[in-house]
Amino acid sequence: MEMYQKISLIVAFSAVGIVVIYLYFNNIREFYRFRRRDKAVEAVFLSRFKIARTGYAFCRTAQTTGVSRYGDGMIKVKLELDVYPGGLTHYITEVPWIINWMSLDKLQTGIELPVRIDAEDKNLVYPEVSWAAFDITEEIPLFMKTSQKPE
């Protein structure tokens, strides 16, 4: 009876070990797959940011939506902006930005922000301030449409 218990424990621990090893290597594979995807998306974003036109926007509302995966005290913020691309025309849009938590007090209702407006989609408004960045992780499907999808 004791020999049977030892064999079943060896089999059980071997099965658990195989599952743990599989999960470990699967996570490593997924990490590099998402890293390749993020690099492709960032390349598309940077090319679109370079040709974006300048403008300004007024902050209507700012709502924190979580912590950024990039760390360094960065938090996700969903902004509702009143965007002025030039002249007197304007429109309202919502954009995801990443902001340093120490600069969150700079986002007050009615504050004027220098921005860059995407040439292809006017609802993509990028910040032109040092304490904020556009959250490309929220817009990955959009940027993937215009880039090669890595496997």
68 three-class SS: coil
The closest alpha carbon to 78, from 43, 144, 123, belongs to: 123
- Sign, CA dihedral 108-112-116-122, equals positive
Decide: residue 11, CB within 10 A, 0-12 exposed, 13-18 middle, 19+ buried. exposed
Q: Write out pLDDT tens, residues 90-145.
A: 999 999 999 988 888 888 889 999 999 998 889 999 999 989 888 887 666 666 55
What pLDDT score was predicted for residue 73? 77
For residue 31, pLDDT over 70 is answered with: yes
pTM for the model stands at: 0.68
Q: What is the mean pLDDT of residues 33-41?
A: 80
Going from the C-alpha of 28 to that of each of 14, 89, 141, 147, the distances in angstroms are 21, 49, 23, 24
What confidence score (pLDDT) does residue 108 get? 86
Torsion of CA 89, 97, 54, 146, to 10 degrees: -100
Confidence of residue 52 (pLDDT cuts 50, 70, 90): very high
